[in-house]
Structure 1
Amino acid sequence: MSAQREGTFYVHTTGSRPRLVVSADGRGVVSHAGSRLLADLADATGLTRAFSEALRRLRPRGTGHDPGRIAVDLAVMLADGGEAIADLTLLRDQPEVFGPVASTPTAWRLLAGIDPAALKALRAARAAAREIAWLQAGETRHGIPAAQAGGRELPGLVLDIDATLVTCHSEKENAAPTYKRGFGYHPLLCFLDNTGEALAGVLRPGNAAANTAADHIAVLDAALAQIPDAHRHGTEILVRADSAGSAKAFLAHIRALRSRGIHASFSVGWSITEPVRRAIRHLPDRVWHPALEQDGSLRDGAEVAELTGLVNLPGLPEGTRIIVRRERPHPGAQLSLFDLDEGMRHQILLTDTPHGQGSLQLLEVRHRAHARVEDRIRCGKTTGFGRFPSRHFAINTAWLELSLTAIDLLAWTQALLLEGELATAEPKKLRYRVLHAAARITRGARRLHLRIAATWPWRHDLAHAFTRLQALPRPVT
């Protein structure tokens, strides 16, 4: 029960909780104090300055908010868990922490003004900031971490490409019925498995085909443009995708990257055709080897074998290998008639990794780690691209780019500023423990002090993150 008197609420309880008097007149109290970390990191990596240069022509004459700063504030808001442009209110109503923040109409006008040229400039700005963030990781930590599979570190960089469906609950430009009988968009995305960064994304109508080679090529090229030159040309790059990425034109494009000095290889799924079924049936038991779990232990009831040379798949790049995995189906698994007949579930992958660069089991478990991209997408939908704000496709395309920026800010925060469990936590946990921390603003010695609650369990993690942020080497302006 509660009673109200002159704006004050008296909360009475019948349990063991203490009696509270609730009022809405607090001063010097701020919420989401940890999100200031994201805003400062955008400055430290040069992202704010790069966005300002990219969007300079969108700045109104005379006074007004810096368009680049508005874009960064939108990205911070999305990283913090905001879902709509109006959620900028949280930052705007705390000027002592976040400074001047644009109004909702001003943010709308910015998004509406981002045309293809401005979008291209934003992507170039993201790439410039990423290069600085990676240099900072090399100087303050141990550089870009290696991707993991089968209990081992994978060489180089691993790019995961996958599409997802985003439901639209109202009419939006280019929204269309999906193959799952929904309605909305069908964006195609590329994540870096090493760090969880969102390298690139293309917003597509809901009826866009899953296996369109042109879209995969566009996303891959955009993702490669995000990788700093020293890594793009001096590092092995593995491109993973499910069977939607097995279009022969896409695989040929990956192979052709080598002529540009990019040592790229592929690991993609493949559909089980009749020639593949015949080859599987003729495999002797002695060629099957135990499959591995992601920690390197043996996977119970699963085996792998090689079909290279037993199946003729014309049009594939020279040196393509065909690997099959079979496993006892788990309850609820979707099985084909072939699987039902054989009593095992089968999956096929294609890779151009040559013999001698990893065992058959490692190549298979390496490909199976592509499933991590589904977690990246699930978290990305809580970081902006799970809900698009406008009826206009161009605005939603800009929103997707800022959502990818928000995902990068979270990834850089974890790579540069956090340790232990928080360095690998999903956004939901990171927001609950760090970003949404409450604090109090005090003044002393001509300075503002952000005082995190002394009883907050993760106060030291947040305070240490701010300390590491101050110690980051800054780009030369």
Structure 2
Amino acid sequence: MADGKRLIGPAGAVLLRRCADRTGLTDPLAGVLPSSTAAGWRDRAGVLVHLAIAIVLGAANLSEAEQLQLHHRPLFGIAASDSTARSMLAVLDGATLAKIAKARAKVRRQVWSLLHLRPGGFPWLTVAGKRLTGWIVIDLDATIITSASNLAADLDAWLRLLALHDIDGLANAEPDTMRFRLYHLSARLAEHARRRWLRIERTWPWATSFTTCWQQLTALPAIT
């Protein structure tokens, strides 16, 4: 929580978490990462997803990721410490990374299916009057937390394609612009009728885009 008045920031984390949930990202990761029933054990898939979210929000190291997640404790529960994240990353050997890549590919196919269901169909590109169909996927990454940063790139791209594709100024915005306009928006946490609400300042220029993004992600067909 950003202060003692239930102010949450960066509130864009709820959009990225919603995107992860609606695209079915967590379950495939849980199937390839270590698990335990020991008391105090943190679900490694959740740790990896929230680390990816922190990277999208601008975290450059594990300490910054932990600090960002502390702001979201009222929304997502107790944040994983940087030592927990480091322990999770330490077990990612070549075989596990290959399984994570396979899980990402599975979710990516699910996202493509969701895009086909969107009004207007799949967003094929047109270059010099020629429509480019088919996909060649290339992972380009230069950050120090490779597995999590690849997931971060996935989440940011999927959120744009699924929920921001028709919003000028966001659909093709640079990462820093996305953080300034959408992800770093502050919101106030309120509770009513046993439900929690994020109240967004209406005067913020991108407030409507924020709520539209949430609504479009929520309206996505459930992954089966």
Match of 1:402 in 2: 148
Which of 28, 35, 38 is the equivalent residue of 1:50?
A: 28
Secondary structure of 2:120's aligned partner: coil
Secondary structure of 1:54's aligned partner: coil
Match of 2:38 in 1: 62
Match of 1:450 in 2: 198
Match of 2:182 in 1: 434
The residue correspondences of 1:460-475 to structure 2 (distance < 5 A) are 460-475=208-223
Secondary structure of 1:420's aligned partner: coil
TM-score, structure 2 length as denominator? 0.90
1:128 positional shift: 1.2
- Say if 1:34 and 1:437, in contact at 8 Å, map to a contact too: yes
- Normalized per residue, which structure has more helix? 2
Match of 2:167 in 1: 420
Gaps of 5+ in 2: none
TM-score, structure 1 length as denominator? 0.44
- For residues 72-92 of structure 1, the C-alpha deviation after alignment (integer angstroms, 9 at most, x for no partner) is 111111111111011222113
The residue correspondences of 1:34-183 to structure 2 (distance < 5 A) are 34-55=12-33, 58-63=34-39, 64-88=41-65, 89-150=67-128, 152-157=129-134, 159=136
- For residues 275-320 of structure 1, the C-alpha deviation after alignment (integer angstroms, 9 at most, x for no partner) is xxxxxxxxxxxxxxxxxxxxxxxxxxxxxxxxxxxxxxxxxxxxxx
AA aligned opposite 2:221? P
- For residues 390-445 of structure 1, the C-alpha deviation after alignment (integer angstroms, 9 at most, x for no partner) is xxxxxxxxx21221211111111111111222111121111110100000001101
- Say if 2:115 and 2:123, in contact at 8 Å, map to a contact too: no
- Say if 1:148 and 1:154, in contact at 8 Å, map to a contact too: yes
Secondary structure of 2:139's aligned partner: strand
- Normalized per residue, which structure has more strand? 1
Distance in 1 between the 2:54 and 2:181 partners? 16
1:61 positional shift: 4.4
AA aligned opposite 2:150? L
1:158 positional shift: 5.3
1:141 positional shift: 3.8
The residue correspondences of 1:45-444 to structure 2 (distance < 5 A) are 45-55=23-33, 58-63=34-39, 64-88=41-65, 89-150=67-128, 152-157=129-134, 159=136, 192=137, 199-201=138-140, 385-386=142-143, 388=144, 399-418=145-164, 419-421=166-168, 422-444=170-192
Distance in 2 between the 1:466 and 1:158 partners? 27
Distance in 2 between the 1:158 and 1:436 partners? 31
AA aligned opposite 1:107? A
Gaps of 5+ in 1: 1-23, 160-191, 193-198, 202-379, 389-398
CA, structure 1 residues 144+404, in 2 after alignment: closer, same or farther (shift >3 Å)? farther
